[in-house]
Chain A
Amino acid sequence: QKEVEQDPGPLSVPEGAIVSLNCTYSNSAFQYFMWYRQYSRKGPELLMYTYSSGNKEDGRFTAQVDKSSKYISLFIRDSQPSDSATYLCAMTSFARDTGRRALTFGSGTRLQVQP
């Protein structure tokens, strides 16, 4: 079983829809949670970065973390065709003694927003 599970999609929605992307994880040591967006043949771009359980909002994006359920979500409001990309969840258990910072990624969800 993978440490981080993410539905690969593809997910196709009409422009203006609310999109919900989710990941579950098994390692309770994970403390920091991120969402990256990756366009084809490009590197991942950091969208959201959260530490505590609860919601964090940035423009059209809301990240939600539920540590008790080991479940994180990303919501995109008023989705646009330019949001079409692969969305990767990532998490880490930062090791303060060594400074080791290794992200564990989900496999990514491909999102297509239809105009």
Chain B
Amino acid sequence: DAGVTQSPTHLIKTRGQHVTLRCSPISGHKSVSWYQQVLGQGPQFIFQYYEKEERGRGNFPDRFSARQFPNYSSELNVNALLLGDSALYLCASSLARDRGSNEKLFFGSGTQLSVL
């Protein structure tokens, strides 16, 4: 079975531009989360979605937004890009069978975003 897939793998943008990153979860997984990993640091939580609803949001500005589609795939959008947005953006999926279960997160290989 395919793991979490993300596209594109690499992206170069200039300051002020907008970017859309895409993620397809593992088949059968209903929850998708997004993380930002700056070089030399651990990933930081941005968003979590389950059944198209936002379940959680990290400490990121409103320039960051996301959505989840009926097929459970997801998009992360970042507006008005800043140099500091340069990072590896990771998508993770989990089964999330119900609200009462805590399950393991499985990560994709990420999208490397460079803002010039």
A25 at the interface (CB under 8 A from B): no
**Given A90-B42, A94-B102, A97-B99, residue A44 in contact with residue B90 (CB < 8 A):** yes
Interface SS, B side: loop
Is there an interface contact between B45 and A103, defined as CB atoms closer than 8 Å? yes
Say which size band chain A's interface belongs to: 20 to 34
Which residues of A51-96 are within 8 A (CB) of B?
88, 90, 92, 94-96
The residue of chain A having its C-beta at the shortest distance from the C-beta of B46 within the complex is A102
**A–B pairs, 27, beta carbons within 8 Å:** A34-B104, A36-B107, A41-B112, A42-B109, A42-B110, A43-B90, A43-B107, A43-B108, A46-B106, A49-B104, A96-B99, A96-B100, A98-B99, A99-B50, A99-B98, A100-B48, A100-B55, A100-B56, A101-B33, A101-B48, A101-B96, A101-B102, A102-B45, A102-B48, A103-B105, A104-B45, A105-B44
